[in-house]
Amino acid sequence: MYNYLEYGGSDQPNVPEHDQEKYEQFMARIEAGEKIEPDDWMPEDYRQGLVKLISMHGISEIMGALPEKEWTPKAPTMKRKLGIMAKVQDEMGHGQLLLRVAEDLLKPYGKNRENIMEDLLSGDLKFHNVFHMPTKTWADAGMVGWLVDGAAIISQTNMLDASYGPYQRALQRICQEEVFHAQHGEAIIMALAEGTEYQREILQESLNRWWPALLMFFGPSSADTTGTSKQDTMIKYRIRKSSNEELRQAFLDKYLPRVFSLGLTVPDETVHYDEEQEKWVYEQPDWNEFKQIIKNKGPRSKERLRLREVAYENNRWVREALSPEAIGQ
């Protein structure tokens, strides 16, 4: 699960002058629907944009495993334990697929996965806003699968025809698996919605809590909101098709009717579909809070990063023992 989210990294390599002729050939190729492969020539801002997008996507898959993992050992039945374990495993697998794509792109900079992990821990590489949020009950395990992955499907489907071949192919597989995840989440939600009073209570409480984060999921409508947005560049380079707001509207279109049909409400009394404008009208989430969250100042940012850090440091001896020098001893 994930979404493309614009942020400023701290170490941006300088963008060299384009070779104009190569640039034009490149644009002609992507405009003709051709896919760019790792060894092909590409403009520096294309490479950098992809590095940021895919590193963030990959690391968000891995950080995204953590909120649900909180409920994996606690899942209430054997079947749910097996289901959520497989689901979280898929997310780790997506992380692996994507980090390999990012590693190829990082080669000219002499960087690798180790650097990506270190950038995450140092705060240079951000992860998606939804994964900074706390989980409190089993309903959250369902909510993440149902609506967070539901949102991820919408934002990733938007890039299924991305101009960069390795990313586009990884997304094909990821999206197929995400559909299962959304069904897994929906199954948990349905059991709660049809369940006891307690189950319905934790379900509604969970939705109330996740609502602002779900609206934030697709990022701000424009750079005016948060001061930075690379959506236009990504559209120009045929990485993505729709804007953040178009994606959010597609999400609301798909899921709000389902939310209401389960007898659930969202914590926004103004939310409604405007027939004239043909779009959902909703109360904006607090975009200042969003800015804080993606700076690793969200409710659970520190704790989740700390888990990764402990795992990373604590297993250093294993990585050293597997290194070529050690094996060759």
Contacts with other proteins by CB under 8 A lie at 62, 65-66, 69-78, 80-82, 85-86, 88-89, 92-93, 95-96, 99, 138, 188, 191, 195-196, 198-199, 303, 306-307, 310-311, 314-315, 317-322, 326-327, 329
Nearer CB in complex with other proteins: 16/324: 324
Give the integer Cα–Cα distance in Å for 100 and 131.
22
Nearer CB in complex with other proteins: 97/250: 97
Nearer CB in complex with other proteins: 223/311: 311
Nearer CB in complex with other proteins: 295/302: 302
Which segments of the chain does DSSP mark as H helices, in order? 20-31, 44-69, 78-106, 113-122, 138-143, 149-157, 165-193, 197-216, 223-226, 231-236, 244-261, 287-292, 301-314, 316-322, 324-327
Nearer CB in complex with other proteins: 33/73: 73
The first and second tokens of residue 73, run together, are 């050992």
Give, in order, the Cα–Cα distances in Å from 77 to each of 42, 48, 82, 147, 247. Answer: 50, 45, 9, 22, 35
C-beta separation of 129 from 5 below 8 A: yes
Q: How far is the CB of 144 from other proteins (least distance, A)?
A: 14
Q: Which amino acid is at 329?
A: Q
Q: How far is the CB of 60 from other proteins (least distance, A)?
A: 13
C-beta separation of 128 from 95 below 8 A: no
DSSP secondary structure letters along 249-317: HHHHHHHHHHHHHTT---S-TT-EEETTTTEEE-PPP-HHHHHHIIIIISTTHHHHHHHHHHHHHHTHH
Q: How far is the CB of 167 from other proteins (least distance, A)?
A: 18
Q: Is 272 left (phi over 0), alpha (psi -120 to 50) or beta?
A: beta
- Which one, of 275, 315, 302, lies nearest residue 134 by Cα? 302
Give, in order, the Cα–Cα distances in Å from 158 to each of 6, 162, 242, 312. Answer: 16, 8, 7, 33
Q: How far is the CB of 94 from other proteins (least distance, A)?
A: 10
Nearer CB in complex with other proteins: 88/250: 88
Nearer CB in complex with other proteins: 82/281: 82
Q: How far is the CB of 3 from other proteins (least distance, A)?
A: 20
Q: How far is the CB of 207 from other proteins (least distance, A)?
A: 18
Q: How far is the CB of 125 from other proteins (least distance, A)?
A: 15
Nearer CB in complex with other proteins: 30/84: 84
The first and second tokens of residue 247, run together, are 């994606």
Give the integer Cα–Cα distance in Å for 210 and 143.
8
Q: How far is the CB of 307 from other proteins (least distance, A)?
A: 7
